[in-house]
Amino acid sequence: MDSSLSSDDLKFREEVRSFFRTAEPEAAQQLINNPRTYKQGAVQWQKQLFEKGWIAPFWPAQYGGAGWTVTQSYIYETERVKANAPDVVPFGLKMVGPVIYTYGNEEQKARFLPGILSSDDWWCQGYSEPGAGSDLASLTTRAVSDGEEYVVNGSKIWTTYAQYADWIFCLVRTDASGKPQQGISFLLIDMKTPGITVSPIPSINGVHSLNEVHFENVRVPKANRIGEEGQGWTYAKSLLAHERTVIARVADSKKRLNTLRQIASRELQGGKPIIEDASFQHRFTNIEVELMALEYMELRVLAAMARNESPGAESSLLKIKGTEIQQALHELTIELAGIYGGVVLDDGEPGSSVGHDFGDGARKDFMYGRASTIFGGSNEIQKNIIAKRVLGL
Amino acid sequence: MNFNLTEEQQMLQDSAARFVGQDYSFERRQRDVQNDVGFDPELWRQFAELGWLSVPFAEENGGFGGDATDLFVLMEQLGKGLVATPYLASILLFGRCLEAGANPALKAELLERLIAGELQGALAYMERQSRHELFDIETKACREGDEFVISGEKALVMNALAADMFVVSVRTSGTATDKNGVSLLLVDAGAPGIELSSIQLMDGQKVANVTFRDVRVSADRLIGLENQGAAILEEVVEKAIPAICSEALGLMTHLTNTTIEYSKTRKQFGVAIGSFQVLQHRMVDMFTACEETRSLLYRVLCSAGEDDLLEHKKDLHALKVITGLRGKRVGNEAIQLHGGMGITDELDVGHYVKRLMVLHSVFGDADYHRQQLTRLSLQQ
């Protein structure tokens, strides 16, 4: 057994490091940190990656990907976090893009993939509905056939950054007669189509990122349907496992743990650094141990993927442990803010509020971080998946 | 990056799994621990024939030259079968002390007999007051000419009843918990002045408190250098930690699997209890506990071959923490989900849990190793 990198991988790591040294990711990250300039920063950074050829490294080369191995993606992610560089917005690049190049027709690939790669098109995800959360297959947004078009009626909810989106990819019901999973189709809808309204849902971190999207007699060309009518569930599901692997965020949590160590050496309690406090040490080390385990859990999944084995239900495990660790880190960080832990949350500039320089981020991360055990299939749903598929219960 | 077993490791795993599956029933195990020494001597001969006693020793010492992964493969299977064996005491502690520090002639002779299954040994390293501190040693050895004279008492010496020889940690200089001044001496079990008081542990194994009353041993029986034995002791224990955690993983895996199987057959309210979501999630937690332990074990196996000693030490501490915490959780859940049957002596579940309890107490428990890890990552 060994987890060491090959010489090719080491060479690649050097290339990644050198890119991050010259790309100045801090500038984009600063824009992203401020809700008012979020989109500008994200697009700016993604265009830099696009020019480098690294915008969609896991896509097949024929569609504009870099054809990276699983190990290369892992190296990139590790170095990205070390360099404080932004992650890409996942909706186009990690979610709908792969669906389009896997299940879409040639015309759809030619029409949609370039805009995703160049970040000229901003995508959002239309899966959840007010009445369909964990039970996603019970969704009721209807698409009724009318000649060469569908007429869509219904609502999608928790739609992240729908306010910026040019396109939304939706699961819609085209047939209500069979099992819930049947009769779902995968539609790409232009957000400028008449009949679409977006209403904001302010969230508990004080920031507006979530929305409800309403469809009222929205006419969508059938040419925007991916694959077969009624097969949308299969297409969407095939990519969920990948999404969960992404959610583990090991590199990010390692970095947070380090930050936590630094803050705890600076902050005093009774004249002594908190890092010397026994109960802080106990909590810190428990998180560290779990994260050390998670890191190798992820490497084991990556090694399996490198052998072309599907990550499958193991990715549910990564999602559960990864998000639990993130929340434990958020909790410990906000508590280091002490009496400033309870300062009001708003969508102003980061670091502008009272107390510590880490306080605003800690409060926002803590509150919004509660979402991580809910989205991507709640952790309880992940346990159902493991119980059924791995334990055979 | 590669977490696959080599062909040889795969073969070792297969032969150990076959042994556990075919030759080692729970009934046999229960019979074996009734033996005077706590295991079946015939089993030990079989281990020797299978080549398992040679696994950790270097080829130049007549061994198989196995690494941490080879041992993992073997110990995990022994754990799954709850095999009663003095492998830890005789091979991984006693044998490895000899390999690390005995003089060449002694090493050659004793390791040959050990690997052939003709010699049993024990490492007498714990004391009443020492808890988990390896170097809290009050047993003294005073030099008199070409001899050392040992006096003191060693606690809960594993395999003491079967052992032909002991390696004993003694204080030859310094005070209380000093690392310097610890020496290791090889002593015949029958030497005048040695007295054993037998104790049975909850996992069935027989151990003993060993009293030394002016026991004389020749200075050429020093393992390593005088006053410098701590490093050998520490290295031997550090190499044994992944091995016992592998065994613990085997125990945990068995407990998880047997609980899942039971939940599929046990019916209440007209249905299998495994259909209840509240129990399903608890079994998922058991499975997750095993996966976390396995992942940290792989981490340790990987860093064992690297040069960064500090990282490897941290990995070892983390492994012992998670194995201790998750082992307890899996054990408790296995009993709970088996209901009333879980607390019977008849069912194997309780015996697996007891073995986990004993392993948790060996070489430092979760709290001890958490403190050690804290020291390395927060106070460096």
> Is the CB of residue B123 less than 8 Å away from at least one CB of chain A?
no
B325, pLDDT greater than 80: yes
Report pLDDT for B229.
97
- How many CB atoms neighbour CB A196 within 10 A? 18
The beta-carbon neighbor of B296 closest among A2, A296, A392 is A296
* A residues 42-101 closer than 8 Å to B (CB): 71
| B1 located within any domain | no
B373 touches A at CB < 8 Å:
yes
Give me the residues of B, 297-336, that contact A with CB < 8 A.
298-299, 301-302, 305-306, 314-315, 318, 321-322
Of B319, B302, B311, B295, the residue nearest A250 (C-alpha):
B295
Count: domains in chain B: 3
A284–B contact, CB cutoff 8 A: yes
Residues in chain A: 393
Q: Looking at residue B19, what DSSP letter applies?
A: I
Amino acid letter for position B366 = A
Assigned token pair, B41: 């001597």
Q: Which residues of A touch B277 (CB under 8 A)?
A: 384, 387
Compute the nearest-CA separation of B3 from chain A (Å). 5
Indicate if B292 and B322 belong to the same structural domain: yes
C-beta separation of B167 from B184 below 8 A: yes
Q: Is residue B131 part of a domain?
A: yes
Last residue of a domain, one of B227, B249, B265: B227
List CB contacts (< 8 A) between A285 and chain B: 321, 370, 373-374, 377-378
What ipTM was assigned to the predicted interfaces of this complex? 0.96
**Each residue of B247-285: pLDDT tens digit?**
999 999 999 999 999 999 999 999 999 999 999 999 999
CATH number of this structure's domain A123-235 = 2.40.110.10
Domain range summary for chain A, segments of one domain joined by +? 7-88, 123-235, 240-389
| CA–CA separation, A170 and A29 (whole Å) | 29
Do residue B223 and residue B236 come from a single domain? no
In terms of domains, do B235 and B374 share one? yes
Nearest CA in chain A to B291: A297
Q: How far is CA B44 from CA B151, B160, B244, B271, in A?
A: 32, 16, 18, 45
pLDDT in tens, A203-214: 998 889 999 999
Angle B246-B100-B45 from CA coordinates, rounded to 5°: 60
Counting Cα atoms < 13 Å in the Cβ hemisphere of B132 gives 15
Domain A240-389 adopts which CATH fold? Butyryl-CoA Dehydrogenase, subunit A; domain 3 (1.20.140)
Any idea of the CA torsion for A258, A260, A262, A267, to the nearest 10 degrees?
Answer: -170
Q: Do both B245 and B307 map to the same domain?
A: yes
* B244: containing domain: 231-378
Q: Which residues make Cβ contacts (< 8 Å) with residue B52, sequence separation at least 6?
A: B16, B74, B87
In a 10 Å sphere around its CB, with 0-12 CB exposed, 13-18 middle and 19+ buried, how is residue B245 labelled?
buried
Q: How many CB atoms lie under 10 A from the CB of residue B24?
A: 23
Interface test with B, best of A292, A299, A324 (most B CBs within 10 A): A292
CATH number of the domain to which B273 belongs? 1.20.140.10
Record: contact B1-A303, CB cut-off 8 A: yes
Confidence band of B17 (pLDDT split at 50, 70, 90): very high
Query: Quick check: B299 pLDDT over 90?
Result: yes
**DSSP of B64-127:** ----HHHHHHHHHHHHHTT----IIIIIIIIIHHHHHHS-HHHHHHHHHHHHTT---EEEE---
> Contact B287/A390, CB-based, under 8 Å?
yes
Lowest mean pLDDT among A227-241, A258-272, B54-68, B85-99: A227-241
Helices and strands (DSSP H and E) totals, chain B: 11, 10
Are A292 and B69 a contacting pair at CB < 8 A? no
What pLDDT sits at residue B316?
A: 98
> Is residue B294 in some structural domain?
yes
Q: Is residue B2 part of a domain?
A: no
Which of the four pLDDT bands, split at 50, 70 and 90, describes residue A313?
Answer: confident
| Closest residue, chain B, to A388 (C-alpha) | B280
* CATH classification of the domain holding B147: 2.40.110.10
Which residue of A1, A289, A392 is in closest CB contact with B321? A289
Same domain, B106 and B125: no
Q: How confident is the model at residue A237 (pLDDT cuts 50, 70, 90)?
A: confident
**Chain B residues whose beta carbon lies within 8 Å of the beta carbon of residue A295:** 295, 299
Helix (H, G, I), strand (E, B) or coil at B26: helix
Among A2, A293, A386, whose Cβ lies nearest the Cβ of B305? A2
| pLDDT for the residue A67 | 82
Do B339 and B273 reside in the same domain of the chain?
A: yes
Instruction: Indicate the residue type of A314.
Output: E
**What count of CB pairs under 8 Å joins A to B?**
121
Q: Which residues of A touch B333 (CB under 8 A)?
A: none
pLDDT in tens, B95-134: 999 999 999 999 999 999 999 999 999 999 999 999 999 9
Query: Do both B85 and B199 map to the same domain?
Result: no
- How far is the alpha carbon of A22 from chain B, nearest alpha carbon, in Å? 29
Residue B47 burial (C-beta neighbours within 10 Å; 0-12, 13-18, 19+): buried
Q: Please check whether residues B65 and B40 belong to one and the same domain.
A: yes
The residue whose two tokens read 């003993």 is: B208
CATH number at residue B28: 1.10.540.10
Give the global pTM: 0.94
Residues of A involved in catalysis:
243
